[in-house]
């Protein structure tokens, strides 16, 4: 190693470890820096702070800064100290403070009860405050259907009582006896409230609580029953059984029925309170007493559809006789509409019963009963019965062809005795029965009967071993054979009678004019008719004179067609004194030609009457044969007066 490098290292070593070594680094500049830095060799007093020096101010703040944790610690200590002071003050001097949380309303009573059974509610109001409660008022709000236990007819909505003042750490007691009605398994809520004041304050404060009671059983049992299956349009009964389970008499009981679409109410075993037959007032029901309501009606609808009948029973709403204020029980009954097990169809004179067949006096009507087994099973002991009734029915006018007419009950009956095939009817089998009936007018001239008819209702019964709780009877569509009015038109030719003066030679002479009066009359028997019109035509050799009678009748003539029209309009039914008869006259002039000599020519063609029966809706017709020069109904007529004579 060169001597110069060795001396350099020794000097550096001494400068590091020797206290009195020469300052080697201070005498030598570093190659990388051009500035000389003086190093301090002793402690010096720091210079005084100057605000204008931001570096020194930042350093000072860093040295004297208080942390957030220290501040939180100091704040917590102050808060605790204040809280201790306040707590000590309240503990030692806090007698004037009050809290609603220190007021306890305790209700003691059953948590479940049978509806209609009296219950006792014991109420304790405790004041745990250090000050008295002033002017305490207590109230209980009861659910709908609550009554007084002493009088179940008196509804109880709210119970109120004044408790006066309640001293600190003291209690007040009240006992309330009530009867609560409601549906089974329904929880009823009772709200108890206390209002009070405190000394030195005009404010009123409230504390309340709720108490729940479960209705364990209904006070009234509601049991609807009916057929599980019926046929569309078949009358049937709905039975609703009501029984009181209450220990007290239930006052003002209302039963409401909600009928499904397609149900037609007919009647009931008790008169309904509403016009639609849905509301029934059952009145007061004593303990253990049962009531039964039977509703009659018919249900129509599609096959296999299910219809629900809903029933609600309860206590009448005060002031509203058709409304239920408190519901006591509800029930529902389902009925299925099924195709009838046997179809019955009636035809009268070849017209289906549903199309409105029409009969007439003096003419027999043929009735055919068609039946079909709609089941997939065999029916046994089938019996078909057609019951007859009505104002035009007579026992003597019935003829049963292959059945038996039981006149005592007015029934035509077919069974296995007169038709062995009815003993066992296979699935899908069909057949027909028939009989004849003739309408009879049972009225008299003094006591006429209008709107006469014969009613026919067919019933089939059979044994159905494959089904239960279904009706064994099917009622077919009820048929009505309406009897139409006997409307008749008559006509005659007059010379010496009538409202007009007739002139001209009699017998008529060729090429000379003779006048005649044409008289038309209409008689009507049973039913009022409308739109009545009579028409006829005049031949070319007969002239329309223009005279008509009476003036109230509408008679006109069309010269182009030669048609005479009598617009009659409405004709009343017979009342026994001929008031249903209408009559009209008009005058014609006849001038015979030479080729009509020796003949009695036609003067008016066949007249036709048309009208509509107001009872049956049927179109009625009647006609009058043509009128000739023979006026034989006139008292002045002599034989030969009708023959045309030659002119002289």
Q: Is 641 left (phi over 0), alpha (psi -120 to 50) or beta?
A: alpha
The whole-angstrom separation of Cα 463 and Cα 342 is 11
For tokens 């364990």, the residue is 216
- 487-628 has which fold? Immunoglobulin-like (2.60.40)
| Parts of the chain belonging to CATH 2.60.40.10 | 100-217, 220-338, 342-483
CB 121 within 8 A of CB 107: yes
* Residue 385 pLDDT: 93
Q: For residue range 425-482, what is the model confidence (pLDDT) as tens digits?
A: 998 899 999 999 999 988 877 777 878 999 999 888 888 765 555 555 565 667 899 9
- Asked whether residue 81 carries a pLDDT value surpassing 70, the answer given is yes
- Asked whether residue 591 carries a pLDDT value surpassing 60, the answer given is yes
- 100-217 has which fold? Immunoglobulin-like (2.60.40)
User: pLDDT category, 92, cuts 50, 70, 90?
Assistant: very low
The percent of residues in the chain predicted with pLDDT above 70, rounded, is 85
Q: For residue range 328-374, what is the model confidence (pLDDT) as tens digits?
A: 888 899 998 877 788 888 999 999 988 889 998 889 999 999 999 98
Query: What mean pLDDT do residues 147-172 have?
Result: 88
- Asked whether residue 301 carries a pLDDT value surpassing 60, the answer given is yes
> What is the rounded average pLDDT for all residues in the chain?
85
Query: What mean pLDDT do residues 45-59 have?
Result: 51
Phi and psi angles of residue 97, each rounded to the nearest 5 degrees, phi first: -90, 145
- Asked whether residue 511 carries a pLDDT value surpassing 90, the answer given is yes
Query: What mean pLDDT do residues 295-312 have?
Result: 90
Q: In 20-157, which residue ranges form alpha helices assigned H by DSSP?
A: 54-64, 68-93
Geometric angle at alpha carbon 533, from 529 and 536, rounded to 5°: 145
Phi and psi angles of residue 83, each rounded to the nearest 5 degrees, phi first: -60, -40
| Parts of the chain belonging to CATH 2.60.40.290 | 487-628
* Residue 47 pLDDT: 56
Query: What mean pLDDT do residues 32-54 have?
Result: 54
Phi and psi angles of residue 595, each rounded to the nearest 5 degrees, phi first: -75, -5
| DSSP output for 353-376 | GGG--EE-TT--EEEEEEEEE-SS
**Token couple for 210:** 């709720």
| DSSP output for 401-415 | SSSEEETTTTEEEE-
In sequence order, what are the beta bridge partners of 222? Answer: 242
SS3 content of the chain, % helix, strand, coil (to 5): 10, 50, 40
Phi and psi angles of residue 348, each rounded to the nearest 5 degrees, phi first: -125, 115
CATH architecture of 220-338: Sandwich (2.60)
User: Regarding beta strands 514-524 and 487-494, do their DSSP bridges make them parallel or antiparallel, or are they unpaired?
Assistant: antiparallel
- Asked whether residue 488 carries a pLDDT value surpassing 60, the answer given is yes
Query: What mean pLDDT do residues 270-291 have?
Result: 92
* Residue 28 pLDDT: 47
CATH architecture of 342-483: Sandwich (2.60)
Query: What mean pLDDT do residues 498-503 have?
Result: 94
Query: What mean pLDDT do residues 521-532 have?
Result: 91
User: pLDDT category, 12, cuts 50, 70, 90?
Assistant: low
pTM of the model: 0.50
Query: What mean pLDDT do residues 64-93 have?
Result: 69
- Asked whether residue 56 carries a pLDDT value surpassing 50, the answer given is no
Query: What mean pLDDT do residues 288-300 have?
Result: 92
Choose between 501 and 182: higher pLDDT.
501
The percent of residues in the chain predicted with pLDDT above 90, rounded, is 53
Say which range, 22-26, 549-553, 601-605, 640-644, has the weakest mean pLDDT: 22-26
Q: Please, which residues have CB within 8 angstroms of residue 288's CB and are 6 or more apart in sequence?
A: 243, 244
The whole-angstrom separation of Cα 59 and Cα 496 is 156
- Asked whether residue 282 carries a pLDDT value surpassing 60, the answer given is yes
User: CB atoms < 10 A from the CB of 609, how many?
Assistant: 23
- Asked whether residue 405 carries a pLDDT value surpassing 70, the answer given is yes
Helical (H) or strand (E) element with 3: helix 3-17
Beta strands in 445-576, from DSSP E residues, in sequence order: 453-463, 473-475, 479-483, 487-494, 514-524, 529-537, 542-549, 554-558, 563-571
* Residue 86 pLDDT: 60
Burial, 414: exposed, middle or buried (Cβ in 10 Å; 0-12, 13-18, 19+)? buried
User: pLDDT category, 232, cuts 50, 70, 90?
Assistant: confident
For tokens 């930042």, the residue is 58
């Amino acid at each position: 190693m060169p001597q110069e490098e060795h001396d350099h290292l020794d000097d550096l070593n001494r400068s590091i470890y020797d206290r009195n070594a020469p300052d080697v680094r201070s005498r030598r500049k570093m190659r990388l820096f051009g500035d000389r830095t003086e190093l301090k060799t002793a402690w010096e007093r720091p210079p005084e702070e100057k605000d204008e020096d931001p570096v020194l101010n930042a350093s000072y703040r860093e040295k004297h800064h208080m942390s957030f944790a220290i501040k939180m610690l100091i704040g917590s200590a102050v808060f605790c100290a204040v809280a201790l002071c306040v707590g000590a003050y309240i503990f030692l001097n806090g007698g004037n403070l009050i809290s609603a949380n220190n007021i306890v309303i305790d209700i003691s009573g059953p948590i479940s009860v049978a509806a209609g059974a009296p219950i006792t509610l014991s109420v304790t109001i405790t004041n745990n405050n250090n000050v008295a409660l002033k002017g305490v008022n207590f109230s209980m709000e009861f659910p709908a259907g609550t009554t007084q236990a002493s009088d179940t007819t008196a509804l109880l909505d709210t119970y109120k009582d004044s408790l006066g003042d309640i001293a600190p750490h003291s209690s007040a007691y009240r006992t309330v006896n009530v009867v609560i009605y409601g549906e089974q398994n329904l929880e009823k809520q009772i709200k108890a409230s206390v209002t009070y004041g405190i000394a030195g304050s005009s404010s009123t404060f409230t504390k309340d609580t709720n108490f729940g009671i479960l209705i364990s059983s209904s006070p009234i049992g509601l049991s609807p029953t009916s057929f599980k299956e019926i046929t569309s349009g078949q009358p049937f009964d709905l039975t609703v059984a009501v029984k009181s389970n209450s220990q007290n008499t239930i006052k003002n009981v209302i039963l409401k029925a909600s009928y499904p679409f397609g149900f037609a109410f007919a009647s009931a075993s008790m008169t309904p309170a509403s016009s639609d037959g849905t509301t029934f007032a059952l009145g007061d029901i004593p303990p253990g007493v049962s009531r039964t309501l039977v509703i009659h009606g018919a249900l129509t609808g599609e096959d296999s559809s299910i219809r629900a009948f809903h029933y609600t029973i309860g206590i009448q709403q005060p002031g509203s006789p058709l409304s239920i204020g408190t519901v006591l029980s509800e029930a529902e009954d389902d009925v299925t509409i099924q195709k009838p097990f046997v179809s019955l169809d009636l035809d009268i004179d070849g017209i289906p019963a549903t199309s409105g067949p029409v009969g007439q006096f003096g003419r027999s009507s043929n009735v055919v009963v068609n039946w079909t087994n709609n089941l997939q099973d065999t029916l046994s002991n089938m019996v078909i019965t057609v019951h007859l009734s009505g104002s035009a029915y007579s026992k003597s006018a019935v003829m049963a062809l292959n059945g038996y007419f039981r006149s005592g009950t007015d029934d035509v009956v077919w069974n296995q005795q007169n038709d062995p095939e009815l003993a066992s009817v296979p699935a899908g089998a069909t057949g027909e029965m028939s009989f004849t009936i003739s309408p009879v007018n049972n009225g008299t001239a003094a006591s006429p009967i209008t709107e006469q008819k014969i009613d026919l209702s067919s019933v089939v019964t059979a044994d159905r071993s494959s089904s239960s709780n279904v009706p064994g009877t099917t009622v077919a569509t009820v048929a009505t054979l309406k009897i139409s009015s006997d409307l008749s038109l008559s006509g005659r030719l007059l010379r010496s009678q009538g409202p007009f003066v007739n002139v001209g030679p009699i017998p008529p002479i060729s090429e000379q004019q003779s006048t005649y009066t044409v008289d038309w009359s209409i008689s009507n028997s049973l039913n009022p008719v409308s739109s009545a019109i009579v028409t006829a035509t005049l031949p070319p050799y007969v002239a329309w004179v223009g005279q008509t009678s009476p003036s109230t009748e509408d008679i006109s003539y069309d010269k182009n067609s030669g048609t005479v029209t009598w617009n009659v309009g409405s004709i009343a039914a017979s009342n026994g004194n001929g008031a249903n008869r209408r009559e009209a006259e008009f005058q014609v002039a006849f001038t015979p030609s030479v080729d009509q000599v020796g003949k009695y020519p036609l003067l008016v063609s066949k007249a036709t009457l048309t009208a509509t029966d107001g009872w049956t809706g049927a179109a009625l017709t009647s006609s009058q044969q043509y009128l000739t020069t023979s006026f034989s109904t006139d008292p002045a007529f002599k034989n030969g007066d009708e023959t045309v004579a030659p002119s002289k």
